[in-house]
Structure 1
Amino acid sequence: MKKNRFINFLYRMLCGAFLGLSVIAPGISGSIMAVMMGIYDELITIISSPFKNFKKNVAYLLPMVLGACASIVLLIGVLDFLFTNYRVPAYLLFMSLIGGSIPTVLGEAKKGEIKPKHFIGVGCAFAFALTIGLLAKFDFAIAIDTSNVFSTAMRIYLPICGCISGMMSMVPGMSVSMILIMFSVYEPLLKLAKTMLDFNIWFTSGWFDGCFVVGTVVVAFLVGMVLFSNITKRVFKKYPTLAFLMVLGFMSGSVISIFPGLPEGALNWVLSIVAVGIGLSVSYLFKILGKKFNVEE
């Protein structure tokens, strides 16, 4: 029993690490990752009613939070390096992770009766995800100077962006980073986060000010998640077949929107093929591990 709980703890830490990765990796949906790992339904239930079975919820979420924090701290620099120097293989890795979970989602949808009218929802989901992705690529200019995260305007604007991102994160296929890119705040927040990890400035006035800015964004993000999770939970409970088919639409739209193009040069081709293989393998591994270890304590 204790061994089972320990394995469960490690598995959820691994899940948390991937969820943390999805927050900082452009175009990657945390909800899709959760679906892929078999924890989406449980997360929606907990987030929509966080104080119901509070101790049990904390026990379930604690390893995920630890894993997410660890992955963000450890991988923020690595991701920046990969997306700067090996952009195509990096994106193909995440695309294959998402693509590899399609059979799982389709299997959930097939548990109910698929009707022709459901495909209207699929089309809408596909178009919505694709539009968000394309808007993020254009990175529309706004009337606020987003380069200074400590300005009064940004202190108001960032929590608003955080709240909207939290709401959208509940929709499978929606990427937090893509929403932040669309609002022109992804790069400023990423740079601030990297700066906050520099131990040379820890406990200085600038570090505390940065913590406050990041903290307000995180709180607003969590508020957005809680507000929208109840709607998402009701949709999945009342219309499960339509909901999972729409997830496929969101997934397809998000994958197409982040497609980086074909690799250039022999090295990038080799790395891309390896990346796709790794992505599909990890996706399949999560499917197996999810069935074996993702049980309630």
Structure 2
Amino acid sequence: MKGLINFFKGIAVGIATLVPGVSGGTMSIILGIYDNLIHSISSFFQDWKKNLLFLGEVALGGLLGMACFSSLLENALIRYPYVMKFFFMGVIFGGLPILYKKAETSKDNGSGIVYFVIGAVLVLAMSSQPTAVTTLATSTGILSIIFLFIAGIIIAVALILPGISGSFMLLALGLYDVTLNAINTFNVPFLIPLALGVFVGTVATTKTIEKLLQKHPRKTYMLILGFILGSLVEVYPGIPAYGEVAASIVAAIVGFILIFWMSKKEFQSEN
């Protein structure tokens, strides 16, 4: 039963990863699997069977979420941008109370306010940068492969750090549209070097984060909280059009209640 729950949580993380401004790391924290993901990746060989099973459940869900919902999500964001963005804002807000409680119940000293501010400022600074004009050549030459590998490493950092959207990083690198198209058309020559870069970047980043969570949990959680709140500026689409106000508000409320309830249950089961 737990494996099935992890699978569905993976689907949610995969879907969130596709939305510009919404972080897969944020979604995994909200759903209560972030710490386990970090530990399973960084300490994989300490108990590889258990870690492989957990990562397989989440990864399979994530891949399925991206493969099955990329086209649907792309169309929904085009047709109902305010409703969808407000729903994701509700989802993010719904996970914040439990994350703050995690920070407050940590045992290390200090309020962590400075780290919260640093996290928010970093994400705000990144989201204020103009989108890069870099575009990927359609050729399968060595330069294209190297570029995709390096881009994958950069994207991995964004995927692991909550509040920094992997999709936003794709936009900044000029790869968002072409990556969605590659997923929809299963363009293997494009996806393999990108995926290898993501793998290498993920392993390197998770080891650093796990050490921080072990030695400075409160400060790390407050930094993450700053990342997430700072990312809301990128997610917020502006005031909805008159005909979408009610639907956008309802979507935000539904997102908040759903994730608050799920994250509260997860927090209670951990304590």
The TM-score normalised by the length of structure 2 is 0.93
CA RMSD of aligned residues (A): 2.0
Is the 2:182–2:190 Cα contact (8 Å) retained in structure 1? no
- Structure 1: how far apart are the matches of 2:164 and 2:209? 13
User: Once the 2 structures are TM-superposed, how far is the Cα of residue 134 of structure 1 from its aligned partner?
Assistant: 2.4
Query: Superposed, which structure 2 residues align to 1:53-92 within 5 Å?
Result: 53-92=47-86
- Structure 1: how far apart are the matches of 2:141 and 2:253? 45
- Structure 2: how far apart are the matches of 1:150 and 1:98? 38
| Larger mean Cα displacement after TM superposition, 58-67 or 7-16 | 58-67
The residue that corresponds to 2:211 in the other structure is 234
Deviations 1:265-288 (A, max 9, x none): 22x112201210221122123214
User: Once the 2 structures are TM-superposed, how far is the Cα of residue 212 of structure 1 from its aligned partner?
Assistant: 2.7
Query: Superposed, which structure 2 residues align to 1:81-160 within 5 Å?
Result: 81-112=75-106, 115=110, 118-135=112-129, 138-142=130-134, 145-146=135-136, 148=138, 150=140, 152-160=142-150
User: Once the 2 structures are TM-superposed, how far is the Cα of residue 219 of structure 1 from its aligned partner?
Assistant: 1.5
- Aligned-residue sequence identity (percent) comes to 24
Tell me, what secondary structure is at the counterpart of 1:140? coil
Tell me, what secondary structure is at the counterpart of 2:266? helix
Query: Superposed, which structure 2 residues align to 1:275-294 within 5 Å?
Result: 275-291=251-267
1:107 partner letter: K
1:79 partner letter: L
- Structure 2: how far apart are the matches of 1:275 and 1:126? 25
Structure 1 position 211 matched with structure 2 position 188: yes
User: Once the 2 structures are TM-superposed, how far is the Cα of residue 167 of structure 1 from its aligned partner?
Assistant: 2.2
Is the 2:41–2:51 Cα contact (8 Å) retained in structure 1? no
User: Once the 2 structures are TM-superposed, how far is the Cα of residue 291 of structure 1 from its aligned partner?
Assistant: 4.6
Structure number with greater Rg is 1
The residue that corresponds to 1:201 in the other structure is none
The residue that corresponds to 2:236 in the other structure is 259
User: Once the 2 structures are TM-superposed, how far is the Cα of residue 289 of structure 1 from its aligned partner?
Assistant: 4.4
User: Once the 2 structures are TM-superposed, how far is the Cα of residue 148 of structure 1 from its aligned partner?
Assistant: 2.5
Is the 2:140–2:189 Cα contact (8 Å) retained in structure 1? no
1:281 partner letter: I
5+ residue gaps, structure 1, are 1-6, 197-209
Tell me, what secondary structure is at the counterpart of 1:35? helix
5+ residue gaps, structure 2, are none
1:15 partner letter: K
Tell me, what secondary structure is at the counterpart of 1:100? helix
Number of residue pairs the alignment of both structures matches? 270
Deviations 1:155-208 (A, max 9, x none): 221111111111232212111111111111111111121122xxxxxxxxxxxx
- Structure 2: how far apart are the matches of 1:65 and 1:120? 34
Is the 1:129–1:253 Cα contact (8 Å) retained in structure 2? yes
- Structure 2: how far apart are the matches of 1:223 and 1:289? 33
User: In the superposition, relative to structure 1, how do residues 88 and 237 fare at CA in structure 2: closer, same or farther (>3 Å)?
Assistant: same
The residue that corresponds to 2:25 in the other structure is 31
| Larger mean Cα displacement after TM superposition, 280-289 or 84-93 | 280-289
Equivalent of residue 18 in structure 1, options 12, 21, 30: 12
User: In the superposition, relative to structure 1, how do residues 149 and 46 fare at CA in structure 2: closer, same or farther (>3 Å)?
Assistant: farther
User: Once the 2 structures are TM-superposed, how far is the Cα of residue 293 of structure 1 from its aligned partner?
Assistant: 7.0
2:6 partner letter: R
Is the 2:120–2:226 Cα contact (8 Å) retained in structure 1? yes
